[in-house]
């Protein structure tokens, strides 16, 4: 079992180690794979940051659904989803439903939530918007 180190630097390392353990085994997508999926039109991107964050910049083609409303959005009837988000509701069997946030935590939560609702193709872009902005921005 991991033991939490002491001090400020130790606490930061501890949080990072826990985050890496949490993502280990989670269905993720890398930046090269995301580029390929986007180029081929095979990915549906969901920006789960706040509306304000997404308005300041997002990955082209992403649909903004803040993580706080994702559960209700994914349980809506297709017509209600379309009316609210001006987009087709994802289907349970859709592949390559990619969730992302700014640094990875909310994207991971969103992916886990979607999978718990039966969206088997849900994945997390672990590099998140931060990596996208740094390398593609």
Q: Which residues are catalytic?
A: 101
User: β-strands 28-29, 97-100: how paired?
Assistant: unpaired
* Range 105-108 contact pairs with CB under 8 angstroms and sequence separation of 24 or more: 105/19, 106/48, 106/49, 106/67, 107/48, 108/22, 108/23, 108/26
Nearest-angstrom CA–CA distance, 106 and 100: 7
């Amino acid at each position: 079992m991991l033991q939490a180190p002491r001090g400020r630097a130790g606490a930061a390392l501890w949080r990072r180690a826990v985050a890496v353990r949490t993502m280990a085994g989670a269905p993720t997508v890398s930046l090269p794979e995301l580029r390929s999926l986007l180029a081929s039109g095979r990915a549906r991107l969901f920006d789960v940051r706040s509306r304000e964050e997404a308005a300041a910049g997002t990955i082209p083609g992403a649909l903004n659904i803040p993580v706080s409303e994702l559960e209700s959005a994914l349980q809506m009837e297709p017509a209600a989803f379309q009316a609210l988000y001006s987009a087709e509701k994802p289907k349970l069997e859709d592949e390559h439903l990619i969730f992302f946030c700014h640094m990875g935590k909310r994207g991971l939560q969103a992916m886990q939530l979607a999978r718990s609702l039966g969206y088997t193709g849900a994945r997390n872009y672990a590099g998140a918007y931060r990596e996208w902005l740094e390398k593609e921005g």
